[in-house]
Structure 1
Amino acid sequence: MDKVLIRGLKVDATIGIHDWEKQIKQPVVLDVDLSYDCYAAGQSDDIKDALDYFAVSQKLSHFISLSHFELIEALAEHCCQLLLKQFPVNKVKLTLSKPEAVPNAQSVAVQLVRKA
């Protein structure tokens, strides 16, 4: 199966279990693999036959910026379900990272794989 990949999508989110985290925005970074048959788009060279990665990125960014979650696992799960419901994909692999969440670590992350 073909894939459309989005790498390093940075969005400010209200995420965390601590009271102070619920009062601020923190960056999260997403890497998304979307299983999508690219054959028609490759033949037609027409956006109507493609998975619009700009629209996918905008939808994710908007959802995350308005949401409030305590756990990155919950945010990642909701992002996967949103993608499966709103775009013509049958499989999503999503890695959601929270930079600087742990001292001396570049980031912490979860990776989910979900199918329609």
Structure 2
Amino acid sequence: MTDQVFIEGLECQAVIGVFEWEKQIRQKLVIDLIMGWDNRRAAEGDDYAHALCYDTVSKAVTALVEGHSHELVETVAEKIAALLLADFSVPWARVRVAKPGAVANAANVGVSIERMA
């Protein structure tokens, strides 16, 4: 299957980091998702019931990221991938988690992972 559904630039305010001062504040994470999804059934019938809902996915990911503290962006990425595979039944997902401003002389840092069901 080559169909993909994507969400780019999903901004979340998270308690993220290994330093004590980071555990006392919220920092911006920017998340990009690419998910495998067979869009043919939704397209053939112009039927929302068979589409992967961007809004529902975005809300679930935001709740996960903002609802728990994490030390590592790697952990956040793995938890997001697990959520997408389990709760939304996507066959695979590519998750990119960026932590802008984490390194003073870099525009962005983070991780990108791909997981399959």
TM-score normalised by structure 1 residue count: 0.98
**Aligned residue number for residue 28 of structure 2:** 27
The one-character-per-residue Cα deviations of 1:3-46 (angstroms, maximum 9, x if unpaired) are 00100000000100000100110000011000000000111111
1:78 aligned partner = 79
**What is the aligned length?**
116
- Unaligned stretches of 5+ residues in structure 1: none
* SS at structure 2 position matched to 1:22: helix
Note the residue ranges of structure 2 that are not aligned, 5 or more in a row: none
1:68 aligns with 2:65: no
Contact 1:5 1:34 in 2 (8 A): yes
Aligned to 1:42: 43
What is the aligned-residue RMSD (CA, Å)?
A: 0.6
- CA distance in 1: counterparts of 2:96 and 2:76, whole angstroms: 11
Letter in 1 for 2:6: L
Superposition deviation, residue 68 in structure 1: 0.8
Alpha-carbon shift at residue 88 of structure 1 (Å): 2.2
Deviations 1:47-104 (A, max 9, x none): 1010011100000001111111101001110111011100021000011000000011
Determine which structure has the larger strand proportion and give its number: 1
Q: Percent sequence identity over matched residues?
A: 39
